[in-house]
Amino acid sequence: MVKSLNQIRNDFPILDQKVNDEDLVYLDNAATTQKPRAVVEALAHYYYTDNANVHRGVHTLAERATADFEAAREKVRAFINARSTTEVLFTRGTTTSLNWIAASYGEKVIGAGDEIVISYMEHHSNLVPWQQLALRKKATLKYIKMTADGHLDMTDAAEQITDKTKIVAIAQVSNVLGVVNPIKALAKLAHEHGAIMVADGAQSLPNMPVDVQELDCDFLAFSGHKMLGPTGIGVLYGKEAILNEMPPIEFGGEMIDFVDLFQSSWKELPWKFEAGTPDISGAIGLGAAIDYLSAIGMANVQAHEQELVNYVLPKLLAIDDLTVYGPHDPAQHTGVIAFNLNGLHPHDLATGLDMEGVAVRAGHHCAQPLMKYLKVPATARASFYLYNTKADADRLVDAIVATKEFFKHGTV
């Protein structure tokens, strides 16, 4: 990396604290990442020098705020290599982005008997909007199966996607299994059948280079807070031709061209979709996060995480009574690792790890259909990010072993 790992850690003040008398090891990055000083300072700088409403004012602050806000949009555009900023809509997060596709594009295009194809590993945010759309429209929701080690079954994908399919919606990276799904191949398949491809990028954007033109997906949704940015801001990328045909989802200030008493017309892209005062500071914070990630380089971020997985996955697999979900080959596994200690509920395991200062998640990870598919009620999940170290990985392994011992003997 350009910066040393130590330098990077120093950029994240939150990491330098004790939790339950132990040094914090934060391994809940798939839920949300921590923020570097640069991002928090971008917020403070905005509020202390430039804050004003955007696209409305003639005065100097308004012009500065508008320029800052639109500069953030351009940063997002460059980060995902979209053709134009008209294709970059700011939303509240992945969930809102996906709901917008379903509520606007889906509402318009889906009819009775049409098919929407997703997978068993989808996050509820890329599942329930399609499920409810299908219920509203009497359309068919279809699930692509997985292979034994947790990859998307592309043979099944080729069968599920048919000429009746209108929408294929798949996570680029699973938030549980740590697998990467072949969006480009899925997009090709979808397009061959006249369907559009929706990529849920919540877990991919933070961790790997993503190029929408290369993937040829029609939509891409992601969240700022999972990639060093603030909460409350997310992105919906959509191909311009498709966005142009879509009706807006919310109505109000900023998105109108002309309002008459009984009818109105809309602005051009991207503003057509951005009703009301946008999350200006959120967009600026996301821009600062993108600057931070770009300075390190997404390929380097990915390589660092891969190194950690190479290091920790074999150690986890070596723990007796520990089940690891998803592929066991580190080369096939991203920095998200779900596991269970046999005989112990993951909540108890997570509480044990928390007592050791190690923050992991336990639960269904907003993926209840996947839990059912895996036949487990819940799992624990550790997820690594650019500021995590091998020492963090060791702490995780040690804490799992100690917790296991505690519950075996009923005491430490």
Ligand X SMILES: Cc1ncc(COP(=O)(O)O)c(C=O)c1O
Q: Comparing C-alpha atoms, which of 304, 264, 266, 276 is closest to residue 384? A: 304
Exactly one of 1, 40, 43, 366 is catalytic; which is it?
366
Q: From CA 194, how far away is CA 85, in angstroms rounded?
A: 26
Q: Which is nearer to ligand X, 34 or 223 (CB)?
A: 223
Q: Quick check: 54 and 39 in contact, CB under 8 A? A: no
Residue 253 within binding range of ligand X, rule CB under 6 A: yes
Q: Which does 267 bind (CB under 5 to 8 A by kind): ligand X, its own copies, other proteins, none?
A: other proteins
Task: Kindly identify the residues of this chain, within the stretch 350-409, that bind its own copies according to CB under 8 A.
Answer: 350-351, 353-354, 358-363, 366, 368-369, 372
Give the x-and-dash track for 378-397 against ligand X (CB under 6 A): --------------------
Min dist. Cβ of residue 253 to ligand X (A)? 5
By CB under 8 A, name the one of 159, 192, 257, 329 that touches other proteins.
257
* CB 55, CB 271: distance < 8 Å: yes
Q: Which of 119, 120, 126 is nearest to 97 (CA)?
A: 126
Q: Does 339 bind other proteins (CB under 8 A)?
A: no
Is residue 366 among the annotated active site residues?
yes
Q: d(Cα 151, Cα 296) in Å, to the nearest integer?
A: 29
Strand spans (E) along 241-293: 256-259, 264-266
When asked if residue 66 is in the footprint of other proteins (CB under 8 A), the reply is yes
> Taken in order 183, 189, 190, 194, is the CA torsion positive or negative?
positive
Binding status of residue 326 toward ligand X by CB under 6 A? no
Instruction: Considering only the stretches 60-68, 76-84, 189-197, 314-322, report the one whose residues sit in contact with its own copies under the rule CB under 8 A.
Output: 60-68
Q: What value, to the nearest 5°, has the Cα angle with vertex 204 and ends 313 and 18?
A: 60
Separation between Cα atoms, residue 273 and residue 260, nearest integer Å: 19
Cβ proximity to other proteins: between 268 and 320 the closer is 268
Task: Report which of 240, 244, 225, 281 is spatially closest to residue 96, judged by C-alpha positions.
Answer: 225
Figure out which of the listed residues 175, 181, 340, 403 binds ligand X, where binding follows CB under 6 A. Answer: 175
The residue ranges that bind other proteins (CB under 8 A) are 20-22, 55-60, 62-63, 66-67, 70, 86, 256-258, 267-268, 271, 344-348, 351-352, 354-357, 362-364, 368, 371, 377-378, 399, 402-403, 406-407, 410-412
